[in-house]
Structure 1
């Protein structure tokens, strides 16, 4: 079950102080400890607490049905009176639309969706752009004889994608990745599967093992905590993987010997910026879109394997990044556009 767990950024743990900027955090289902999306949001509020007089309280919904109640509990609180509620994940959208209207004096921010209200700052990302970059890399490497760390490529030009749940947001990751692979070579095969869960490493491992056994050299995941199973599978068979949201070669260092790169999504910056706007009394209920150009997403090479990636590949990725930013490459957001 989900619930509210008090975390004081200042003073004694478990006590939120009224003389600081108080922030409520409602995370995406899947919870903290995913070493990915939720943990990046948590890093953002921690960074704000380090920089400013900020105290925060975490709430982790166990199911989507708990989100509305958690939002309401924060908004109704008077001890403390929360200066900002951060709503993490697309599942927050519908409850937040209702709660933003019900509590017009409460400031909210939301990640991965938009709510058109003066008291809601929305932050979305061009995940397809960063996914294009890692797809481009995977497509180039699968055509090469390449070995590094615990992995090596085989003779098949095959790569894979593992999604968490099959929703429009994750389709942006898939579409961008496939477009990037095709940019390297349209004849490369891309295997795709969805785990149906955000926190099921065993399922992620089973899906990825099937892909590797069918010739995949590299598997990219956009599956939250499920993705650690992809890394386990990569180590088991001696192939490669690509992380998501955080630099997972750093957040999951035990898998750094198979993680070529991560498609980092700066959720931490979105959370930090929204809190900073409240601290500076500059909060604006607007939509902020972060892509490659604003460093909202990026292909970050793995801490252990990055130096082994051939210069021809890194130069090609630098060129495709420049072309995307310049508008010369238009990256699709839906697989139907491929």
Structure 2
């Protein structure tokens, strides 16, 4: 009788153990399945310039595709973990942002200051979303950055100062142009930094600045460039997104007619934009690609910089001169490096507004 009781107890223990082991095994398999299904997803909404603007949006997308490759994520297709939605008009911004948020993307970028109000609305309606905006800071009623938005900004005036030095030392006519997209605080940073660089090395240079009023109007860019080249400018720095493509078109046309003119590109190394006539003097590189990569990596690693204002300047390698410098002499490049170091160590504070530029000019006298 005692033996029978012991055998029954042992059988019960074996049954319970088997059940527990079976349950544990099932849980492990289930978790493994869930982990394999939940890949990090990051999306981007372009402004009206489009993803192939050969400038700002394209640089952002290049950063995301590099991130996708480094993290073994699919990119570019409708069901990819990394994808973009193109805005053909301003009214597309909110629907595009909402679409990615509602599809449970872990991080959604808005490219450009024109989407400030849009991302503010989307972020307030989706407080658990993780959003990022490039070239602006989104704040709430208390004037503080929103907790679910990472704000990416650049010291464009610093990089623009360096290409201004290039222009001031390279011009043969002492007449230089600047073509901007939308006349805004952002593009004024490009303009005033550029003019300060020119004047620092060539006080006698005359600078013409004109705005197209749009980032997606290459025809306007070409018309303005034609006007400035017609005034005698032999170098134009363009900060105009897809509008700037028209500046390259005009420069190539002028070169075919035997005129010696140059374009300074922006955001990306735009050397190829000047081919086959070879009209790109150099470019001011704004590392939007680096910024979106950094923020994507931080977010994937569990360190989403929501509520932070991230600023990329010369010191952070966020702006600078493009690798394509074959048209620049060694003396010019040495001068550029001298000014770069002075900006980094604080000896020179580059102006970003009209008022600051006026003050800066007074220090050169």
User: For structure 1, which runs of at least 5 residues remain unmatched after alignment?
Assistant: 1-16, 143-152
The answer for the alignment partner of 2:284 in structure 1 is 263
Q: CA deviation digits over 1:68-111, x for unaligned, max 9?
A: 2222222223xxx2111111111121121222222111111111
- Structure 1 counterpart of 2:107: 84
The aligned length equals: 303
| Residue 180 (structure 1) aligned to one of 188, 197, 211 | 197
| 2:318 is the alignment partner of 1:289 | no
The whole-number CA distance in structure 2 between the counterparts of 1:257 and 1:35 is 16
| Aligned-partner SS, 2:275 | helix
Q: Contact 2:248–2:274 (CA<8 Å) still a contact in 1? A: no
* Bigger Cα Rg: 2
* 2:52 match: 33
Q: Which residue of 2 aligns with 1:107?
A: 130
- 1:60 aligned onto 2:86: yes
In the TM superposition, residue 139 of structure 1 has moved relative to its aligned partner by 0.6
- Match of residue 193 from structure 1: 210
Give me the TM-score of the superposition, normalised by structure 2: 0.80
Aligned counterparts of 1:308 and 1:197: Cα–Cα separation in 2:
30
Whole-Å separation in 2 of the counterparts to 1:233 and 1:136: 23
Equivalent-residue separation in structure 1 for 2:105 and 2:287 (angstroms): 24
Q: Indicate the structure with greater helix content.
A: 2
Structure 2 vs 1, CA of residues 196 and 18 (structure 1 numbering), >3 Å: closer, same or farther? farther
Who is 1:132 aligned against? 161
Contact 1:249 1:256 in 2 (8 A): no
Whether the 8 Å CA contact 2:268–2:322 is kept in 1: the answer is: no
Change (3 A) 1:253 1:193: closer
RMSD of aligned residue pairs (Cα, Å): 1.6
**Kept in 2: contact 1:21–1:53 (CA 8 A):** no
The yes-or-no answer on 1:118 pairing with 2:150 is no
What TM-score do the two structures reach when normalised by structure 1? 0.86
Structure 2 equivalent of residue 235 of structure 1: 252
Query: 1:122–1:323: structure 2 CA closer, same or farther, 3 Å change rule?
Result: same
CA contact (8 A) 1:24 1:84 kept: yes
Give the aligned partner of residue 16 of structure 2. none
What secondary structure, in the 3-state scheme, does the structure 2 residue paired with 1:215 have? coil
Cα distance in 1 between the residues matched to 2:112 and 2:327 = 35
Measure how far apart 1:284 and its partner are.
2.0
Query: Structure 1 runs of 4+ off > 4 angstroms?
Result: none
Q: Which position in structure 2 is the counterpart of 1:249?
A: 271
DSSP-derived class of the 1:21 partner: coil
- The structure that is strand-richer by fraction is 1
Find 1:202's aligned residue among 219, 235, 242. 219
Aligned counterparts of 1:292 and 1:64: Cα–Cα separation in 2: 32
Residue 316 (structure 1) aligned with residue 305 (structure 2):
no
CA–CA distance in 2 between the matches of 1:108 and 1:297? 23
Query: Residue by residue, what CA displacement relative to the aligned partner does 1:178-222 show, whole Å, maximum 9, x if unpaired?
Result: 111111122210011111221222221221121112111110000
